[in-house]
Amino acid sequence: MAQSVMIAFQSPDLPNLTKVVGRIALLCDGDAPNTPAAKALNKATRGALARALASEAFAQLKAGDGIDLAYPAGLDADALHVIRLPKKAGAIESRRAGGAIGRALGAKGALVLAESHPAASEVALGIALRAYDFSAHKTSPAAQYGAVTMAVANPEMQAKLARANAALAEGVLFTRDLVNEPANILTTYDFAARLAAMQEIGLDVEILEEEQLEKLGMNALLGVGQGSDSPSKVVVMQWRGGGDEAPFALVGKGVVFDTGGISIKPAGGMEDMTMDMGGAGVVAGVMRALALRKAKANVVGLVGIVENMPDGRAQRPGDVVRSMKGDTIEVINTDAEGRLVLADVLWYAQDRFKPSALINLATLTGAIIVALGHENAGVFSNNDGLANDFLKAAAAEGEGAWRMPMGQAYDDKLKSRVADMVNSCGRDGGSITAAQFLRRFVRDDVPWCHLDIAGVASLKGDSPLAPKGATGWGVAALNRLIADKFEAK
């Protein structure tokens, strides 16, 4: 797993500020040096800090953004990073400030002068999330991050607040590592093994192999992987931190590589299909975060792990498979495979665990990217209460999500001439008809959300809290949802 940057909390050491090497970051609330650390830095730099705070450039900064004073006179530091962050700034702005620090962090590390800022622990979380580099396969890793010292007025309290955030950060980084891995490394074997290793942190992990899946009748899932040399698997992760209540369930699509099967994808961009296990990656990251922070909730995470390959044994367009539920599915397009995987795992989750609520995640459709771009995941639900609770949690964590419609007219499009339903029914409303397909495998009395994360799981460019590549979107929102709605107080 990518190594998290080391972050420690201590009281400010103002007499030795001039001797700090690396970078110094100062959180400012106002247009003049008005804290002990700011006054000390302004004196050391002979008024350069005051001039920067009074400048038009600083006045135009958004909360969480900053400007650099490079090689400031009077300091041994390489740079003084001056960040605009009001005392009343919320978690999102504070993490953005941390992201700015993490983005510029180098091998010499940084001193962050947060002093009495109430959101210092959120700044630290932003640093941890942004100071990430997936370099496992580079001979000479590009990014090296030195340690970060958070200089705060109340180090013990801020360190305590940061511990829960550290568990969240590790969950997010675990998800990013999984999604960033190439498919020749993250095979179905390797993916299952990495999840099984989380037994070391208190999760109960069970791996269902193909023979067991056949006995359970998971023919929809098995059909997707039958053209691959890597066997299909279902991994069940349980965290029992609550009482006797029914668990909250998470289900993830784990297609470690998606060629499209016989309905093969165009060559351009196919290399990105290593991220088609993004839903399963998020489920794994959430389960890791819950275990590390010892959440007082019962949560089960289930992931269907397959590889979709063209082969003499591969599933064909026109084939009919019978799902675990018993419904038959005409496979119109073998590239609409994720919903086949989820159908069986959703039914198994309900059949075995009788969950209080159920959320599935998948990089399911390109259509959701057409609809929402890369700013929001699509949220589909049969329950307004659960959908609203998730949207509220996502907004609080700064993770974009948008409720999408469902309805009978969309469901009617799933009609098949030879089976109970088709797995694909055209381009129009593609993300919605995919959700309607999944809805058929959710019992009416189970609150359910489907999150289509195709546009947010991995990005082509940097974001405030992540470098190019996997984002870990959804780990924070689901962690908050569980804390707010499913965890004993």
Spatial contact of 75 and 52, defined as CB atoms under 8 Å apart: no
Whole-angstrom distance, CA of residue 436 vs CA of residue 428: 13
pLDDT band at 4 (very low <50, low <70, confident <90, very high): confident
- Quick one: pLDDT band at residue 142, thresholds 50, 70, 90? low
Q: Which domains, and CATH codes, for the chain? A: 7-153 (3.40.220.10), 171-486 (3.40.630.10)
Rounded to 10 deg, the angle between the 278-292 and 155-180 helix axes is 150
The phi and psi torsions of 354 (rounded to 5 degrees) equal 45, 60
Q: What is the mean pLDDT of residues 429-447?
A: 98
Buried residues in 207-223 as b, exposed as e (16+ CB within 10 A): ebebeebeebbbbbbbb
| The model scores a pTM over 0.95 | yes
Which among 339, 439, 440, 480 is annotated as catalytic?
Answer: 339
Q: Give the SS3 label for residue 142.
A: coil
Known catalytic membership, residue 84: no
Phi and psi of 334, rounded to 5°?
Answer: -70, -10
Q: Is the pLDDT of residue 27 over 90?
A: yes
CB 236 within 8 A of CB 302: yes
When pLDDT is averaged across residues 17-43 and rounded to a whole number, the result is 94
CB-based burial label for 133 (10 Å; 0-12, 13-18, 19+): middle
Q: In the predicted model, is pLDDT for residue 1 greater than 80? A: no
pLDDT per residue as tens digits for the range 260-318: 999 999 999 999 999 999 999 999 999 999 999 999 999 999 999 999 999 999 999 99
Between CA 387 and CA 299 the distance in angstroms is 18
Tally of residues, the chain: 489
- β-pair type (357-362, 448-452): parallel
Interval 208-215 mean pLDDT: 98
Q: Which residue out of 39, 103, 265, 392 is catalytically annotated? A: 265
Interhelix angle 338-353/430-439, rounded to 10 degrees, is: 30
Q: Catalytic residue at 265?
A: yes
Region 131-150 average pLDDT: 88
